Amino acid sequence: MENLLFACNAVLPTFAIVLLGSSLKKIGVLQDTLIQQGNTLCFQVLFPILVFFNIYAAEKINISYLKLVVIALTVIAVSLLILLFVVPRVTTDRRRMSVLIQSIYRGNFMLYGLPFSQVLGGADSAAMATSIMAATLPVLNIIGVFVYSFFSEVKGKPDLKGAAVQSVKNHILWGVIIGFVFRMLNIPLPQFLDTAGMDLAGIATPLAFLLLGGQFCISSAKKNWKALMVGLGVKLVILPVVVLFAVIYGMGITGSELVPIFIFCAAPTAITNYQMAIQFDADAELAGDFLIYSMLFSVLTMFVLIYALRSGGWL
């Protein structure tokens, strides 16, 4: 019963906020303009402040951070290679190939990584998650441009330079970099800035999930149900189970170190995948369905995985 309550307390509060956001959108409290402006506020201001304080206020920074970053990058590379080989053999529609590849291996770690790491593993896990985010965000953005460009029916070379420039300009990445500089050089913050910054950091995650709920709507997935079932099974079940088995039994990683890796693999697909599908004239309908239903079914899959990890003594 204790493990069941732990899993419930880890998953349900977040999705309660998402449901509240969806309800507020339906009754007109959350308008599209407010959602758009709120997302800009979150990802350009509040999340950079949050990741800065995750690093700045971390109790310790050690070699385990680098180890987890290497694991995350390895997961990306291996998953991508397998999907590039398998997906073209299960569908002939190039516009769907890029969507399936991106939606399966790229999860919404930027939004899910920090709050779930904090709940499941505390401040240490959140700091580790921040390090993984900083290392993987530029890589994922560049790979995303390459994958969508390669399978796109719109002619033109992948703008990898543009993707790299955009990654360097990312506010969250700079929040991490500045956090490491302040931490390593032991630069103190004035008390009023420390208090104000921590208050702002506390707003970031609940506001982001509330706005996410405002964008949540169930669309018809009859046309895409086969691709969805297979893709969601791989994304939400097979990928996290395989990675967790490898890092637990192969590398002996448990506890706070396991948490960010678990979230990295188990989080629902990233919103960026849908946006890029539109940009590159891929199958945006499939990308949108994958985004919505991965978010919906992840409530169940993450609950079950957290319960299993807790029962096994690995969390």
Q: How many CB atoms lie within 10 A of CB 9?
A: 12
Taking 60 as the threshold, does the pLDDT of residue 154 lie above it?
no
Query: pLDDT, tens digit, for every residue of 11-64?
Result: 888 888 888 998 999 898 989 899 889 888 988 899 889 888 887 876 666 666
Which residues have C-beta within 8 Å of that of residue 221, sequence separation ≥ 6?
228, 289, 292, 293
Contact 95, 153 (CB under 8 A): yes
Domain that holds residue 11: 2-311
Query: pLDDT, tens digit, for every residue of 211-267?
Result: 888 877 666 567 788 888 999 999 999 999 999 999 999 999 999 999 999 999 999
pLDDT band at 159 (very low <50, low <70, confident <90, very high): low
Query: pLDDT, tens digit, for every residue of 259-294?
Result: 999 999 999 998 778 777 877 788 888 888 888 889
Q: Higher confidence at residue 28 or residue 163? A: 28
Q: What is the CATH number of the domain that holds 24?
A: 1.20.1530.20
Collapsed DSSP state (helix, strand, coil) of residue 130: helix
Query: pLDDT, tens digit, for every residue of 69-118?
Result: 999 999 999 999 999 999 998 888 888 999 999 999 999 887 888 888 98
pLDDT value, residue 304: 93
Residue matched to tokens 């969601």: 232
Amino acid symbol at 27: I
pLDDT band at 165 (very low <50, low <70, confident <90, very high): low
Q: Please give the tally of structural domains in the chain.
A: 1
Taking 80 as the threshold, does the pLDDT of residue 312 lie above it?
yes
Distance of CA 105 to the CA centre of its chain: 11
pTM: 0.82
Q: Partners of 107 in the beta sheet?
A: 269
